Amino acid sequence: MIRIGGWSRLSSCDWPGRLVTTVFCQGCPWRCGYCHNPALLPPRSAPVVSWRTVTSHLARRRGLLDGIVFSGGEPLLQPSLADALREARALGFATGLHTGGAYPRRFAQLLSAGLLDWVGFDVKAAPAAYEKVTGVPNSAAPATRSLRLLLDAGLPHQIRTTIDPDLLDRADVAELERWVAAQGVRGHVTTPARFMSPVAGGR
């Protein structure tokens, strides 16, 4: 159903205050210089675990896990993400999404269908500096549209930015803070870039 490039059976950090299982979806349209999981970038790499394995795990963890988070990569790249979210909710689990908002139309469909309980949204920079981070021209426009959709939806969320000083200087960070405040973002979280080993499949 969805192409999974990595899986954390139990996580306490992917959705603040919740114990979840996290699937790392394969594929991303952006090429952020600090990407923690470059193995997840190619969209057609072979999956490391099947969706059925994940749902079987969920069925055995009713009452022990609070929910499931779809991370990446960029989960919105998955054509069947909505179906996977519906299956997870049918099993009784809350659903979370980590996204950079690269596909606002797909994001809008998930929001309007009520398939998400929480979103961790990655704002890469203020619009003028987006390409410096993503390496992709015109990446700010879809991300900005998606952020507006999320804020207007009133869904619980966390807006966060990874700060890599090689990509964003002090002026860029100051402009970012001004810009997110102007959008109505509250509680913007910034973290320094940490160059970690790629996520392992099925850990």
Enumerate the H helices of 18-139 as residue ranges.
Answer: 51-60, 81-90, 104-112, 130-134
Question: Would you say residue 200 has pLDDT above 70?
Answer: no
Q: How many other β-carbons are positioned within 10 Å of the β-carbon of residue 203?
A: 12
Q: pLDDT tens digit string along 24-81?
A: 999 999 999 999 889 999 998 888 999 999 999 999 999 999 999 999 999 999 999 9
Nearest one of 130, 104, 106, 4 to 55, comparing CA atoms:
4
Does residue 201 have a cis bond before it (omega within 30 degrees)?
no
What is the C-alpha to C-alpha distance for residues 72 and 77, in angstroms, rounded to an integer? 9
Question: Would you say residue 197 has pLDDT above 50?
Answer: no
pTM of the model: 0.94
Predicted pLDDT at 3 = 96
Confidence category of residue 198, pLDDT binned at 50, 70, 90: very low
DSSP 8-state class, residue 13: S
User: Beta-strand (E) ranges in the chain?
Assistant: 4-11, 20-25, 67-71, 94-99, 118-122, 157-163, 189-192
| Structure-token pair, residue 52 | 């059925």
Predicted pLDDT at 36 = 84
Q: Which helix (H) or strand (E) holds 174?
A: helix 170-182
Q: pLDDT tens digit string along 66-122?
A: 999 999 999 999 999 999 999 999 999 999 999 999 999 999 999 999 999 999 999
Which distant-in-sequence residues (6+ apart) come within 8 Å of 51 by Cβ? 1, 2, 4, 23, 84
3-state secondary structure of 186: coil
3-state secondary structure of 10: strand
Question: Would you say residue 136 has pLDDT above 90?
Answer: yes
DSSP of 111-122: HHTT--SEEEEE
What is the C-alpha to C-alpha distance for residues 148 and 179, in angstroms, rounded to an integer? 12
